[in-house]
A and B are shown apart, each in its own frame.
Chain A
Amino acid sequence: MTRKPRGRDERSPLSSLALHATLVVATTIALFPVVWVLLASLKPQDAIQSTEIHLFDHPTLENYRRVLFETSFPHWFLNSVVVAIFTMVIGISMSATAGYALSRFNFPGKRGVMWLFLITQMFPVAILIVPIYTIMANLGLIDTKASLVIAYCSVAVPFCTWMLRGYFDTIPPELDDAAALDGLGPFKTFWYVVLPLARPGLAVTAFYTFLTAWGEVAYAIAFILSDKNLTLGAGLQQFVPRFNPQWDLLTAGAVLIMLPASLVFYFAQKHLVAGLTAGGTKG
């Protein structure tokens, strides 16, 4: 019996099947909760809390209408957009410059900075809320978006710096040398040569900082007092009274929150692997 010999890169139908089956199962698990929330958000309130399994049950946009028009959701949404974008821009600027310095220069204090970054990851955020609240109160920033932007930057910047440092390490240092000979100082080298080459790394940073700010709850609840200044994460907590969550509003709100996040994700995902690789391999 002769069989067409299999090429090196082909695999047997059986292992191909196993591969796809595994990935389909994994993908299903990855997507299912999101899809289920989406489906639930289209059901009327009583159908959400039904024990029967229905993909669709009198589909309606009523939940969305109520979230959008009967709550301060649009306000919160706008606040979140502003906070997330500012966090993103400021966070990237800070972590990119710091990451570049850590990647390229051997300066006194460098080890201390690296340790500071690690320590900040270790101290539980929950404990920091009170003292940071005091600081913000002293600065008169309570109930402002600025307080959130600053706090989120302090959360996101250490990891982003560490990641970007790894990414900058993969950019050949000869380019910096060439730039120095071409007449660029360190800041201009950074701006004209290194940053344009670090797009994948920056994309991951953008994604990460955006997400940090977008869905955050604890700081937002602590710092923001008035309803119109709330961000999404904090605002949605209003739908969760202690014992009787309003699943109808909650599911619709959750879907609306996920939309911009997926948008950012969509733009960043192409670069995620490349951007994170460098950060991961060069610890």
Chain B
Amino acid sequence: MSLSTAAGSGVTPGPARRGRLRRTFDKHWYAWAMVAPTIFVLGALVLYPLVRGILQSFTNLTETNQRAEVCSKTLGGAESCTPNPDRWHWVGLHNYTDLLTGERGHFWLLLENTIVWTLACVLLHYLIGLGLAVLLNRNFRGRSLYRVLLIVPWAVPAFVSAFAWKFLFNPKFGLINSVLVHLGLDPVEWFNHRWTAMFAAVVTNVWLGVPFMMVAILGGLQSIPAELYEAAEMDGTSPWQRFRHVTVPGLRPVSSTVILLGTIWTFNMFPIIYFVTGGQPAGETEILVTGSYRAAFEGLRNYSLAATYGVVILALLVVYAAAYRRVLKSKGEVW
């Protein structure tokens, strides 16, 4: 971003440049002032910890070695401190190699789970959201009532819905198993198998996330001009062809953003996995985020390992977003 706005960009005499800087400031100070509070809070609470996290991922920092000094109280009440002999130190890429080779944690299992989890959730969110939005975009009696009721899950706090579904999936007295038994089927021990447990979590998250998708797509549908449909109808297209050639391209701007955001959010969706499966059985349904949380908070708090997880997650998502953006760009979408 260049500061110069005028044509001549060659040698600028001092006073003129100062004038230009001044003009730049005069012109932009209110824009800067408007974003400043946000930048400040995000910088302090996200960017700074992020940078710290990246640095920590190259150390062996844990709960026990974080202090610079070890202090012990003498009998008289006085404190004597000596430098901590086991103080944390830089370990280079050690955490990363440990993580990626499976030396510590089950990175590849978690990654596999994360990918299955994200793909399943985003795909179902999008398809169900699209289907409902297309239905709701028609004109019929009672549509606003349906719309309100269908958005309700959005208003339910994530952990409440996690518990509601955990309640429904409860192997002993959950409604789902009760229904299965009534239908003459065997009850399922939902949380004893990796994929059934994952299934329960996906169902919960889909239930929770569809309303957002539906509303966003509904908005996108309403922004497609009706003339396009009329023109397509004059061209003799079938409803399916209209959907294919008018609706889908018309939704592309909305779709591209909600899918990108949806992927990022689902990838990092903490409460659902944490509360619904809790990693059961035996950590087999853990995803990267919950895995990193356990590393950081359960047992001996291993800050450096948690940070390494965080950096890996961030890296995966940055690569994903950049690739996504490139694909969109190659298709002529500006994002």
Contacts and interface: CB of A to CB of B under 8 A. Distances in A.
A and B touch in the complex (CB under 8 A): yes
Contacts of B163: 37, 240, 245, 250, 254
Interface string B155-178: 111111101110110001101011
Contacts of A269: 147-148, 151
Instruction: Kindly name the residue among B46, B48, B289, B335 whose own CB sees the greatest number of chain A CB atoms within 10 A.
Output: B46
Interface in A137-179: 150-151, 153-154, 157-159, 161
B219 A122 contact: no
Contacts of B135: 19, 22-23
Interface residues of A, number: 101
A50 interface: yes
A120 B53 CA distance: 13
Contacts, number: 285
Contact of B160 (A51, A257, A272): A257
Contacts of A190: 34
Interface stretch (B10-18, B35-43, B83-91, B103-111): B35-43
Given A23-B146, A40-B167, A124-B270, A33 B161 contact: yes
Contact of B30 (A124, A187, A272): A187
A49 interface: yes
A216 B274 CA distance: 13
Nearest to B316: A122
A259 B211 CA distance: 18
A211 B45 CA distance: 20
B200 to A, nearest CB: 12
Given A109-B1, A130-B303, A281-B254, A123 B218 contact: no
16 contacts: A30-B149, A34-B156, A95-B38, A105-B30, A119-B50, A120-B47, A122-B264, A125-B268, A128-B45, A131-B52, A135-B48, A154-B46, A157-B42, A218-B270, A273-B219, A280-B216
The 4 closest A-B pairs by CB, nearest first: A215-B157, A277-B219, A131-B49, A127-B310
Interface of B: 1, 3, 24, 27-28, 30-32, 34-35, 37-39, 41-50, 52-53, 132, 135-136, 138-140, 142, 146-161, 163-165, 167-168, 172-173, 175, 177-179, 181-182, 207, 210-211, 215-220, 222-223, 253-254, 256-258, 261, 264-265, 268, 270-271, 288-290, 292-293, 296-297, 301, 303, 306-307, 309-310, 313-314, 317-318, 321, 335
